[in-house]
C-alpha cells in the first residue's frame, strides 16, 4: 500500500483510493465501512470503505476475507494484496485522520468529539463513492455508538441507499471485513514508520501497539514528554492518558476556555458576586476607595501603567 500522499504531510486528514472498477459504475453495488485505530493514543485513525457489485459478493467470500482482528499481520497484508489485485470488481477508499486532526478536533473551542468525527469520515467516504459514480444500493457499517441512531442518520443522509448498521458487522458481512482489512493495513503501515515532522533527533521507535494499556506505549509516553510542548503530533493529545501525563509532568498551560471553579474564575475576572448586589452600603465603599478610573482608551486596549518591572 502506498501511503506516500499521507506521509508527505501526516498532520492532516488524507484520502487514498483505488481506481473505480468499471462494473461498479453500471451494476448495483454494496459497500462496507469499517475503521481501525479508534482506541490507541498513538497514530492515525483510519476509515476504510470497500465496494463491489452486489452480484460479486460470493467472489469476495472466495477471497476468504474475515474480520481483521482475527488475522495476523501477514495474513492481512496478503488479503489486502488480493483485494487490490481484484481491481476488476473491488474498489476501496481510505480516509486517514491524523492524530493531529483528532487532537485539534476534540480539543478545539467548540468540541468535536470522536463519534462525530467518525461519522463524518464515514459519510465523506460514502459520498466520495457516490460522487465517483459507484451505483450504491446497499451500505453495511460497523457501528459507532448506538446502532439505530447511526443507521437513521446515515439513511437520512443517503436516501435511496439501504443502510445496515450492526455491531460486529466486520464478522457478519464480507464487504465490511474487506473494508476493515484496508483500514487496518493502512494504519499499521503509517504507524510502523511514522515520519516525525518535528525536529526531534533520534526518536525511540519502540512505542509498541499505541494502545494506552500497552506497557511499551506507556513507557514511551513517559520518556518522550517535553515539559513545554508535550508530545510530537504522533500522539493524540485529547486522550486522557496524554492529559493525565501532561497535567502531572509538564508545565501547566492555561487557556482562556479552561474551566475553572466558578468563584475563583470570577475573582480573577473581577466579576462581582451576585450577592453583592443585594447588600446595601458595603458595595459603594469598596468602589469609593479607588476613585481613579483609567480612561477607556487604555482599558479597551488592555494598556496599564506599571508600578514596577
Partner 1 sequence: MTTKKKRTPHSQNDRWVVVAADSAVETPKKDDSDPTFIRLRNPSTGNAASLYLLGSGDVQLYEVKAFKEDFHSWFIGQTVQRDGRLLYVTPMDPLYLLLPYLIKAGEEGKFQPVDQVVMDEDFPACTRLLSCTRSQTSLHHVAEEKEVGSQKFQRYSQERTMEWLKKKVHRTVKTLRKSNISVGEGVKSTTYVRVKQESETQEEDYLRYAHGLISEYISEDLSKALLKHLQLPELSSPKEVEPPSKKRKLTDKPLEAGEDYTKFNSSDFSRKPPKKMSAAQKTLAKVDKTGMKSMSAFFSPKGKAEKK
Q: Is 271 in the site for partner 1 (CB under 8 A)?
A: no
Q: Is 110 in the site for partner 1 (CB under 8 A)?
A: no
Distance (Å, whole) CA 96 – CA 35: 10
Q: Is 109 in the site for partner 1 (CB under 8 A)?
A: no
Phi/psi region, residue 208 (left: phi>0; alpha: psi -120 to 50; beta: rest), is left
Q: Which of 110, 160, 259, 285 is the binder for partner 1 (CB under 8 A)? A: 259
Residue position matching grid coordinates 495476523: 72
Least Cβ distance, residue 130 to partner 1 (angstroms): 39
Q: Would you say 19 or 228 has its CB closer to partner 1?
A: 228
Three-class secondary structure of residue 54 per DSSP: helix
Instruction: For the beta carbon of residue 160, count every other beta carbon within 10 angstroms.
Output: 8
Q: Would you say 58 or 296 has its CB closer to partner 1?
A: 296
Least Cβ distance, residue 296 to partner 1 (angstroms): 7
Q: Which of 280, 285, 288, 289 is the binder for partner 1 (CB under 8 A)? A: 280
Phi/psi region, residue 145 (left: phi>0; alpha: psi -120 to 50; beta: rest), is left
Enter the C-alpha cell of residue 263.
Answer: 468563584
Least Cβ distance, residue 110 to partner 1 (angstroms): 17
Query: For partner 1, which stretch binds (CB under 8 A), given 92-100, 132-140, 194-202, 247-255?
Result: 247-255
Q: Which of 4, 131, 256, 285 is the binder for partner 1 (CB under 8 A)? A: 256
Q: Which of 240, 271, 273, 276 is the binder for partner 1 (CB under 8 A)? A: 240
Q: Is 309 in the site for partner 1 (CB under 8 A)?
A: yes
Q: Is 296 in the site for partner 1 (CB under 8 A)?
A: yes
Distance (Å, whole) CA 123 – CA 118: 9
Q: Which of 193, 202, 215, 228 is the binder for partner 1 (CB under 8 A)? A: 228
Q: What is the rounded end-to-end Cα distance, in angstroms, of the chain?
A: 59
Distance (Å, whole) CA 28 – CA 23: 9
Tell me which H or E stretch contains 36.
Answer: strand 29-36
Q: Which of 72, 110, 156, 282 is the binder for partner 1 (CB under 8 A)? A: 282
Pairing assessment for the beta strands 91-97 and 136-142 based on DSSP bridges? unpaired
Beta bridge partners of 93: 17, 49
Least Cβ distance, residue 307 to partner 1 (angstroms): 6
Q: Is 193 in the site for partner 1 (CB under 8 A)?
A: no
Distance (Å, whole) CA 17 – CA 153: 25
Query: For partner 1, which stretch binds (CB under 8 A), given 98-106, 136-144, 177-185, 275-283?
Result: 275-283
Q: Is 307 in the site for partner 1 (CB under 8 A)?
A: yes
Count of residues in contact with partner 1, rule CB under 8 A: 35
Tell me which H or E stretch contains 151.
Answer: helix 147-157
Q: Would you say 131 or 258 has its CB closer to partner 1?
A: 258
Residue position matching grid coordinates 443517503: 158
Q: Is 295 in the site for partner 1 (CB under 8 A)?
A: yes
Residue position matching grid coordinates 486517514: 96
Three-class secondary structure of residue 48 per DSSP: strand
Residues at the contact surface with partner 1, assessed by CB under 8 A = 228, 240, 243-244, 247, 252, 254-256, 258-261, 268, 279-282, 284, 291-292, 294-298, 301-309
Amino acid at each position: 500500500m502506498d501511503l506516500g500522499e499521507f506521509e508527505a504531510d501526516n498532520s492532516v486528514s488524507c484520502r487514498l483510493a483505488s481506481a473505480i472498477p468499471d462494473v461498479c459504475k453500471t451494476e448495483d453495488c454494496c459497500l462496507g465501512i469499517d475503521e481501525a485505530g479508534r482506541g490507541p493514543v498513538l497514530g492515525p485513525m483510519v476509515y476504510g470503505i470497500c465496494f463491489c457489485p452486489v452480484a460479486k459478493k460470493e467472489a469476495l467470500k472466495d477471497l476468504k476475507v474475515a474480520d481483521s482482528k482475527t488475522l495476523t499481520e501477514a495474513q492481512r497484508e496478503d488479503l489486502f494484496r488480493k483485494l487490490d489485485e481484484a481491481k476488476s470488481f473491488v474498489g476501496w477508499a481510505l480516509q486517514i485522520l491524523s492524530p493531529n486532526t483528532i487532537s485539534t478536533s476534540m480539543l478545539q473551542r467548540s468540541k468535536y468529539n470522536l463519534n462525530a468525527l467518525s461519522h463524518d469520515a464515514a459519510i465523506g467516504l460514502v459520498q466520495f463513492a457516490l460522487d465517483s459514480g459507484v451505483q450504491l444500493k446497499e451500505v453495511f457499517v460497523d457501528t459507532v455508538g448506538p446502532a439505530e441512531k447511526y443507521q437513521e442518520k446515515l439513511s437520512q443522509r443517503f436516501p435511496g441507499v439501504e443502510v445496515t448498521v450492526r455491531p460486529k458487522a466486520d464478522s457478519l458481512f464480507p464487504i465490511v471485513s474487506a473494508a476493515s482489512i484496508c483500514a487496518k493495513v493502512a494504519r499499521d503501515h503509517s504507524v510502523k514508520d511514522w515520519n516525525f515532522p518535528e525536529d526531534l533527533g533520534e526518536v525511540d521507535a519502540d512505542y509498541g501497539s499505541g494502545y494506552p494499556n500497552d506497557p511499551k506505549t506507556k513507557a514511551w509516553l513517559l520518556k518522550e514528554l517535553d515539559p513545554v510542548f508535550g508530545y510530537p503530533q504522533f500522539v493524540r493529545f485529547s486522550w486522557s492518558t496524554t492529559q493525565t501525563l501532561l497535567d502531572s509532568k509538564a508545565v501547566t498551560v492555561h487557556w482562556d476556555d479552561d474551566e475553572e471553579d466558578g468563584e475563583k474564575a470570577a475573582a480573577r475576572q473581577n466579576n462581582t458576586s451576585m450577592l453583592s448586589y443585594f447588600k446595601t452600603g458595603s458595595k459603594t465603599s469598596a468602589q469609593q476607595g479607588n476613585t481613579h478610573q483609567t480612561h477607556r482608551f487604555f482599558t479597551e486596549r488592555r494598556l496599564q501603567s506599571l508600578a514596577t518591572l
